[in-house]
Amino acid sequence: MKRNPSALGPTPVPRGRTLGVGLMVALGWTGPIGESSALPPDPSVSAAAAPALPCTGTTGTQPMVLCVDGSASATVVDGSAEQPFASIGDALVAAGAGTVIQVAAGEYAERIELAGVNDLQLVGGFSSGDFSQRDPEAFETVIRGDAENAVVAVIGSTAIVVDGFRLSGGGGQFDGYRAEGGGVSTAASNTRDSSSSLRS
């Protein structure tokens, strides 16, 4: 496995490739990532590491557990199970250090940028309207990018976990030979993508 700990650029994830369940994207990876040459599973980050938690909302205990459900129609939202945020971006605005954001099944057409964020978990795979159980395979949660940038960009952040999503519609960067970083792009960050399927 090739690693370059001093790499400052984005972590390359070639367009059209897939990272399967149980794989991580680690800072400094400089080799190809795909079905035939993937990083090994990281036993410290798995679906078991991100169980369903009670949604505290913004008014609950710290650290917060915020819930997101794109199909919810609450007029007043606080990130609780009864009044979830409608977008991941809205939950990120309310999040602080140590926050867990639980996202219900569905498709979220938004680019996620985590800049200067520490100790945050973004967890998909919940049933719409029910955050008491988590099953990323049964409750597919899709983040669709803008086809021009990485779907999830992590910049200058530490202890970030992205788990249980299918990422689609990433554009990445073109270096003259290939496009890369379409699913997840990291720069000067410590990030793990433990069970997301990355598709451009």
Are the beta carbons of 97 and 121 closer than 8 angstroms? no
In the chain, DSSP finds a helix count (H) and a strand count (E) of 1, 15
Q: How far apart are CA 120 and CA 44, in angstroms?
A: 16
Q: Encode pLDDT of 129-145 as tens digits.
A: 999 999 999 999 999 99
Q: Which single residue is written with the structure tokens 């990272």?
A: 19
Q: How far apart are CA 102 and CA 198, in angstroms?
A: 19
Q: Kindly report whether the global pTM for this prediction surpasses the value 0.85.
A: no
Residue 107 has pLDDT above 80, yes or no: yes
Measured CA to CA in angstroms, residue 85 lies from 44, 93, 133, 177 at distances of: 29, 11, 18, 40
Considering only CA atoms, which of 196, 199, 156 is closest in space to residue 39?
A: 196
Contacts of 174 (CB under 8 A, 6+ apart): none
Question: Does the CA dihedral 50-52-58-61 come out positive or negative?
Answer: negative
Which residue spans within 98-145 are E strands per DSSP? 100-104, 106-109, 112-115, 118-127, 130-134, 141-144
| Residue that wins the pLDDT comparison between 127 and 179 | 127
Residue 25 has pLDDT above 50, yes or no: no
Average pLDDT over all residues of the chain: 74
Q: How confident is the model at residue 61 (pLDDT cuts 50, 70, 90)?
A: confident
What residue ranges do the domains of the chain occupy?
55-198
* Three-state DSSP class for residue 93: helix
Q: How confident is the model at residue 180 (pLDDT cuts 50, 70, 90)?
A: low
155 φ/ψ sector (left φ>0, alpha ψ -120 to 50, else beta): beta
